[in-house]
């Protein structure tokens, strides 16, 4: 599987996307498959430990996980936002996958890998997100992930329906800019279910620099209304970069 199909399937987003294709003749006979849940592990590396941490991921953690059966795990790092911030992103087949320990590795091996990680990080949080394909505009086939803006938005209780309606109009406008795609997910177990993650992909910081002007033109042409007040409680923006050398990439 190439990087483009993984980006469309997984949110770093960070966001991810599954599109269930149903032919017109079968539409009444079957329901679209539910989006596959995505596990996000968010951590912060201690100042000064970044080179050692990268070496640990590449030479110890990833080989250990591959030995234990992991076939797909993306690594993204924040380049504008909190220092030392790392996102690990992997699809899961379901919550039952947490019942069984990894195969192919011993508890002692896992404990040693985890202990070394703990010596290099300040904190760690694991949570699940569910892709929202109906709110997303997937990158074109063949797209290679590079740089993205991650917007994490906390929606006021009782306002999720209004928020998603506004967001659908917003992503349609973003699709008419120089952005390469926009993926949306909603936080689940391990986090706030009123939290949404919006990931907008770009080829470079130069493209990101041009985006505000492009968005302004597209929003004006679409007559995009301003966001209503009292819907979003808070928003955090980060620029994140995909780290292919620190990721576990499925075999083609």
Give residues with Cβ within 8 angstroms of 102, minimum separation 6: 65, 68, 69, 70, 110
175-213 residue pLDDT tens: 999 999 999 999 999 999 999 999 999 999 999 999 999
- Which residue did the predictor score with more confidence, 87 or 11? 87
19-48 residue pLDDT tens: 322 223 333 344 556 778 999 999 999 999
Model's pTM, two decimal places? 0.84
Residue 87 tokens, joined: 């996102």
CB 71 within 8 A of CB 110: no
- Asked whether residue 15 carries a pLDDT value surpassing 90, the answer given is no
- Asked whether residue 2 carries a pLDDT value surpassing 60, the answer given is no
Report the distance separating Cα 1 and Cα 250, nearest Å: 6
Fold of 3-246: Alpha-Beta Plaits (3.30.70)
Residue 97 tokens, joined: 């996958």
CB 223 within 8 A of CB 169: no
* pLDDT attached to residue 212: 97
Residue 129 tokens, joined: 């997100």
152-163 residue pLDDT tens: 999 999 999 999
pLDDT mean across residues, the chain: 87
Query: What are the sequence ranges of the domains in the chain?
Result: 3-246
DSSP letters along 72-128, please?
-BEEEEEEESSTTEEEEEEE-S-GGGGTSPPSSS-HHHHHHHHHHHHTTEEEEEEEE
* pLDDT attached to residue 204: 97
């Amino acid at each position: 599987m190439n990087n483009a199909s993984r980006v469309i399937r997984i949110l770093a987003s960070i966001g991810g996307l599954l599109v269930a294709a149903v032919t017109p003749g079968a539409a009444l006979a079957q329901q679209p498959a539910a989006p596959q849940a995505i596990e996000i592990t968010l951590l912060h590396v201690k100042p000064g430990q970044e080179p050692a941490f990268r070496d640990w991921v590449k030479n110890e953690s990833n080989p250990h996980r591959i030995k234990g059966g992991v076939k797909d795990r993306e690594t993204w790092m924040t380049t504008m936002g909190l220092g030392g911030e790392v996102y690990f992103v992997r699809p899961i087949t379901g919550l039952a996958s947490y019942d069984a320990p990894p195969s192919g590795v011993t508890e002692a091996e896992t404990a040693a890998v985890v202990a070394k990680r703990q010596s290099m990080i300040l904190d760690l949080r694991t949570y699940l997100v569910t892709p929202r394909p109906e709110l997303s505009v997937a990158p074109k086939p063949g797209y290679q992930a590079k740089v993205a803006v991650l917007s994490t938005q906390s929606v006021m209780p009782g306002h999720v329906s209004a928020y998603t309606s506004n967001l659908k109009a917003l992503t349609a406008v973003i699709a008419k800019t120089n952005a390469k795609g926009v993926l949306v997910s909603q936080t689940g177990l391990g986090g706030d279910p009123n939290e949404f993650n919006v990931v907008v992909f770009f080829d470079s910081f130069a493209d990101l620099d041009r985006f505000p002007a492009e968005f302004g033109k597209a929003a004006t042409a679409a007559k995009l209304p301003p966001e209503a007040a009292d819907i979003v409680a808070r928003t955090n923006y980060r620029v994140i970069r995909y780290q292919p050398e620190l990721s576990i990439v499925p075999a083609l």
